[in-house]
Amino acid sequence: MAKMTNLEIVKDILSDMDAEDIAAIGDTAESTQVFNLVKSTFDGLVASRQIPEHKGLFELTETDASSPSVMTLPANVIEVDWIQMDVRTDETVGVARRYSEIEWIPPEEFILRTRNRNDTDTTVEILDVTAFTGDTEVMIRNDRAPSFYTSFDDANIIFDAYNIALDAFIPSLKTQAYGTLEPTWVSTDGGTQDIDLDLFPRFLSAIKNRSNAALKQAANAKEERWERSLIITAQATRHRTQNLKRQTHFGRRGARSRPSVLSNRSNN
């Protein structure tokens, strides 16, 4: 079957239920309720990994001057394969950007490699932001681009350095990252969801089962199984990286097993 727009899905479900026809999703309370079920079904299939993820490029999200070497993963990022950064030291007009891949290391190694930095040196700052480092003080350099990074919580990326002469904190536009992304919800009436064509019938069937149960207030065994499966999946995948342990090294020397998937490559 061909993929349907959001409006076509809602109209199809309303027709099956002998409900009032609509021209737009927001025309009736019933059509809005069906559309909410379309959204929750999409979210559930994404959460349970029944809608395949996609590889893509993205930027990291900047923070501010209170955490200059910390950046945040966008919410739709499941796994990071690599991070590159513009590491040039001269940003005057005419100087070309120079991107270099930044090495991922485990948190314990990050602490060991930064611990012996001299915090009395003007080129060393103490990063002590509870939201990112807990009760741990991290020594970061402020006189050069990063060499390596880690994460303590699978959500925030901590780099070992930033260049204060160029930026008060690392800006998003200097980053290029590549990894696995969750499909993004499309909310417009004429929008089509990012679902493979062969999986679309399953998506539509799930919506119809849930709509029938919700709008007719009838007991539905499939709906109950759906809810149980989402609870089980949520428990199993509540950490974005700890449960994904693919080891993709692209043939590089010095590749080693890593307990996190925030990066699967190194530039050793």
Query: Are 46 and 131 within 8 A, CB to CB?
Result: no
Tokens 């994904």, located at residue: 244
**How many CB atoms sit inside 10 A of residue 174's CB?**
23
Q: pLDDT under 70 in the chain at which residues? A: 1, 216-268
Query: Are 190 and 179 within 8 A, CB to CB?
Result: no
Give the tens place of pLDDT for each residue, 48-94: 777 777 889 999 999 999 999 999 999 889 889 999 999 999 999 99
pLDDT at 217 (0 to 100)? 61
pLDDT at 164 (0 to 100)? 97
pLDDT at 165 (0 to 100)? 96
pLDDT at 202 (0 to 100)? 82
- Is the alpha carbon torsion for 239, 243, 248, 252 positive or negative? positive
Query: Are 261 and 80 within 8 A, CB to CB?
Result: yes
Provide the pairing of β-strand 103-104 with 99-101: unpaired
Burial 81-105 (b: 16+ CB within 10 A, else e): bbbbbbbbeeeeeeeeeeeeebbbb
Rounded Cα–Cα distance for residues 19 and 38 (Å):
17
What's the Cα-to-Cα distance from 53 to each of 10, 46, 262, rounded to whole Å?
25, 8, 16
pLDDT at 182 (0 to 100)? 87
What's at 220, amino acid-wise? N
Two tokens at 96? 């070309």
State the burial class of residue 157 (Cβ atoms within 10 Å of its Cβ: 0-12, 13-18, 19+): buried
What pTM was estimated for this model as a whole?
0.67
